[in-house]
Amino acid sequence: MDAPSLQPHDLDGRTILVTGANAGIGYWCAERLAVRGARVLLGCRSTDRARTAVGAIVARAPDADLRILPVDLGSLASIARASADIGERVDAVICNAGVKTARREARTNDGPDLMVGTNFLGHFALLAQIMPHLADDARVVAVGSLAHRFARIEPARLAAPWRGASLRQYGRSKAALMSFAFELDRRWADSARSAMCAHPGYAVDPLTEPRSGLAEVPAPLRALAVLSRPFVQGKDDGAAPLIHAATAAEAMGGDYWGPGGMLEFRGAPARVTASDEVRSPTIGAELWAAAESATGIRFSA
């Protein structure tokens, strides 16, 4: 990563909300955006972990403009409180927070399956309620996954209990989030707002630049991980496609960005291909209606 002094200070005056900003890909989005001058709202379930992330960012960028926005995307009540408290214009939202593994019986506070409820429905509810605060040219970036290609969304069964493998449910939750973003962009067609998707590729902690208080990786494991660098990348580099989608002039509504290398595992940001299912207007409209029913929130985009 470039030293902070060499980073362009090109995001002054922009406010960007990053969910799940206290760790992993979300942390690196927050740090790199702050270094470039953005005001970053760290949407985090754990305030303590968010404070640790703020400390790590300030250590790299002492003048970073940061604010912690407590929000648990698995709780509609928490989302409503965060939406009511936001109180400022937001230029971009990176919908990153998510549950990667969960027991089949795991549920959100409101009843839906934990993965779908957090990864998709939580972001749906959050965006629906912060609409009055979104800038006229706001961007929404939904963080997708390579796993979306192997998933079926089935909007009518969105809130039904899940009986399959955890990885398949993760892919389904990400596919739903991506489908929602593409549908949101279609509904914003007559405005200057835009929505798109991005994914981090195959990003792992042992190849990630260390930060105090974040994921600790033993030195021997880091040394061994160097052998995998031709094929995978650190989470610091995995954040690049997300940041590009949120800030680059060339990024457009309906885009899907990811690493441009082999199998999209690593590499510089490039436009990549999303499945026909997540791009389907029919599925997008059905999913939107199912999300409104599951959350009890009407989203007037």
CA–CA dist 161, 180 (Å, integer): 21
User: Does residue 277 contact residue 153 with C-beta atoms inside 8 Å?
Assistant: yes
C-alpha radius of gyration, the chain, whole number = 18
CA–CA dist 8, 54 (Å, integer): 20
Catalytic residue among 27, 170, 202, 256: 170
Give φ, ψ of 143 to 5 degrees.
-85, 110
Known catalytic membership, residue 170: yes
User: Which of 42, 29, 43 lies closest to 78, judged by CA?
Assistant: 43
CA–CA dist 41, 174 (Å, integer): 22
H/E stretch holding 242 reads helix 240-247
Task: Give the residue numbers marked as catalytic.
Answer: 170
